[in-house]
Amino acid sequence: MNEVDLIDTATIDNTKFDKALFDRLDLLKQYFTKTYGATKYDKGYPKQEKMQNRRAFNAYKWQVGRKEIFVGIALEETDRGDIYMY
């Protein structure tokens, strides 16, 4: 596999843009930092008002040889409400 565009975490209760959402994002950051070292860049957390439907905010990036790993949050607007995915 050469590319993973989005890991679908919609089954986790990610309907609120709050500290719990960022705590789970931090767990992913910790995993990749432990595995691949320091990030190439760290943009921190996104601002809710800047989130766009079906667009990802890439908070962190790692360079692993010729490959890049991005970790961030994407917004999916649904008729049931907003869902945030990592």
Contact 64, 41 (CB under 8 A): no
Helix, strand, coil percent values for the chain (each to nearest 5): 25, 35, 40
- pLDDT per residue of the chain (86 residues) written in tens, 0 to 9: 465 555 555 556 678 899 999 998 999 999 999 999 999 999 999 999 999 999 999 999 999 999 999 999 999 999 988 988 88
Q: How far is CA 5 from the centre of its chain?
A: 11
Instruction: Show me where the domains of the chain are located.
Output: 19-85
* 12 closest CA partner among 2, 25, 31: 25
The whole model's pTM is what?
A: 0.79
pLDDT value of residue 63: 94
